Chain A
Amino acid sequence: MILARHAESLLWAGRYLERAENTSRCLNYAANSITHLRTGEATAEGEMLVRTLGLQDELEAVGPLESQPQLIAFLLSDTDNPGSVVSAVVAVRENLRTVRDRIPIELWEEANGLFLRFPFLGHANAAAAGLHEVLLMVRRACLAISGILNEGMRRDEGHAFAVLGRMLERSIFTVGLLEASHTGSRGVMDATRMLRLTSSLQAYHRQHGNAPDFDSVVRYLLHAVDLPRSVLTCLDRAEECLTGLATTAVALDRPRRKAALLRARLELGEIEEAMVAAPVPTLQDFLAQFLELASDVHTGIVPPLAMATVRSQYIRPGAAPGGGAR
Chain B
Amino acid sequence: MGEPSRQQASGLLDRYQPGGAFDEAFDADGAVRGPYRRIVERFRELDIDEVKRLENLVADEFRRQGITFTVYSEEEGTERIWPMDLFPRIIAAAEWDELSRGLSQRVAAMNCFLADLYNGGGQAIADGVVPRWLVVSSQGFERNAVGIRVPHSAHCNIAGIDVVRAADGRYRVLEDNLRSPSGISYVIENRAAMAKACSWLFYDHPVEPTEQYGRMLRSTLESMAPDGRDSPHIVVLTPGIFNSAYFEHAFLARSMGVELVEGRDLVVDDHAVYSRTIEGLVKVDVIYRRIDDDFLDPVAFRPDSTLGVPGLLGALRAGTVTVCNALGNGVVDDKGVYPYVPELIRYYLDEEPIIDNVPTYMMWDPDQRADALARLGELVAKPVGESGGYGVLIGPHATEQELDEARATIEADPRSWIVQELVQLSTVPSLAGDCLEPRHLDLRPFVLTGERTQVFPGGLTRVAMRRGSLIVNSSQGGGSKDTWILAAEAS
Q: Do A and B come from one complex?
A: yes
Number of interface residues of B (CB under 8 A): 24
Task: Decide if A238 is an interface residue (CB 8 Å cutoff).
Answer: no
Q: Are B278 and A157 in contact (CB under 8 A)?
A: yes
Q: A3-B259, A101-B253 are in contact. Are A301 and B278 (CB under 8 A)?
A: yes
Q: Which residue of A lies closest to B249 (CB)?
A: A101
Q: Are B277 and A100 in contact (CB under 8 A)?
A: no
Task: Decide if B279 is an interface residue (CB 8 Å cutoff).
Answer: yes
Q: Are A116 and B63 in contact (CB under 8 A)?
A: yes
Q: Which residue of A lies closest to B255 (CB)?
A: A101
Q: A94-B241, A108-B66, A310-B241 are in contact. Are A5 and B279 (CB under 8 A)?
A: no
Which of B64, B249, B251, B277 contacts A3 (CB under 8 A)?
Answer: B277
A69 to B63 Cα, complex, angstroms: 32
List B235-294 residues whose CB lies under 8 Å from chain A: 236, 241, 246, 249-251, 253-254, 259-262, 264-265, 275-279, 282
A307 to B275 Cα, complex, angstroms: 13
Q: Are B265 and A116 in contact (CB under 8 A)?
A: no
Q: Are A1 and B66 in contact (CB under 8 A)?
A: no
Chain B proximity of A206: nearest CB distance (Å): 39
Q: A101-B253, A307-B264 are in contact. Are A4 and B278 (CB under 8 A)?
A: yes
Chain B proximity of A237: nearest CB distance (Å): 19
Q: Are A102 and B278 in contact (CB under 8 A)?
A: no
Q: A101-B253, A102-B254, A116-B63 are in contact. Are A5 and B241 (CB under 8 A)?
A: no
A82 to B348 Cα, complex, angstroms: 61
A16 to B241 Cα, complex, angstroms: 19
Task: Decide if B8 is an interface residue (CB 8 Å cutoff).
Answer: no
Task: Decide if A112 is an interface residue (CB 8 Å cutoff).
Answer: yes
Chain A neighbourhood of B401, CB < 8 A: none
Q: Are B275 and A101 in contact (CB under 8 A)?
A: no
Task: Decide if A98 is an interface residue (CB 8 Å cutoff).
Answer: yes
Which of A94, A112, A252 contacts B278 (CB under 8 A)?
Answer: A252
Task: Decide if B231 is an interface residue (CB 8 Å cutoff).
Answer: no
Chain A neighbourhood of B65, CB < 8 A: 105, 108-109, 112
Q: Are B64 and A112 in contact (CB under 8 A)?
A: yes
Q: Mark B333-365, 1 if CB is under 8 A from A, else 0.
A: 000000000000000000000000000000000
Q: Which residue of B lies closest to A113 (CB)?
A: B64
Q: Are B241 and A303 in contact (CB under 8 A)?
A: no
Q: A5-B265, A108-B66, A116-B64 are in contact. Are A101 and B278 (CB under 8 A)?
A: no
Max chain A C-beta neighbours (<10 A), residue from B250, B260, B277: B277
Q: Are A101 and B260 in contact (CB under 8 A)?
A: yes
Q: A5-B264, A100-B250, A101-B254 are in contact. Are A245 and B63 (CB under 8 A)?
A: no
List A1-15 residues whose CB lies under 8 Å from chain B: 1-7
Q: A98-B241, A100-B250, A101-B253 are in contact. Are A112 and B275 (CB under 8 A)?
A: no
Q: Are B66 and A2 in contact (CB under 8 A)?
A: no
Q: Are A249 and B279 in contact (CB under 8 A)?
A: yes
Mostly, the B contact residues are mixed
- The contact size tier of chain A is 20 to 34
Chain A neighbourhood of B253, CB < 8 A: 101-102
Q: Are B254 and A4 in contact (CB under 8 A)?
A: no
A112 to B277 Cα, complex, angstroms: 27
Task: Decide if A97 is an interface residue (CB 8 Å cutoff).
Answer: yes
Chain B neighbourhood of A113, CB < 8 A: 64
Chain A neighbourhood of B278, CB < 8 A: 1-4, 7, 157, 245, 248-249, 251-252, 300-301
List B43-76 residues whose CB lies under 8 Å from chain A: 63-66
Chain B proximity of A159: nearest CB distance (Å): 13
Q: Which residue of A lies closest to B251 (CB)?
A: A101
Chain A neighbourhood of B279, CB < 8 A: 1, 248-249
Chain B neighbourhood of A3, CB < 8 A: 259, 261, 265, 275-278
Chain B proximity of A313: nearest CB distance (Å): 18
Chain A neighbourhood of B259, CB < 8 A: 3, 6, 101-102
Chain A proximity of B379: nearest CB distance (Å): 44
Max chain B C-beta neighbours (<10 A), residue from A3, A105, A112, A252: A3
Q: A100-B254, A303-B276, A307-B264 are in contact. Are A1 and B282 (CB under 8 A)?
A: yes
List A180-236 residues whose CB lies under 8 Å from chain B: none
Q: List 14 A-B contacts (CB under 8 A).
A: A1-B278, A2-B277, A4-B277, A5-B265, A7-B278, A98-B241, A101-B251, A102-B259, A112-B65, A116-B64, A245-B278, A249-B278, A300-B278, A307-B264
Spell out B's residues near A (CB within 8 Å).
Answer: 63-66, 236, 241, 246, 249-251, 253-254, 259-262, 264-265, 275-279, 282
List 7 tightest A-B contacts by C-beta distance, closest first: A101-B253, A249-B278, A101-B254, A101-B260, A101-B250, A100-B250, A112-B66
**Given A5-B264, A6-B259, 6 additional A-B pairs, CB 8 A:** A3-B276, A105-B65, A105-B254, A248-B279, A249-B279, A301-B278
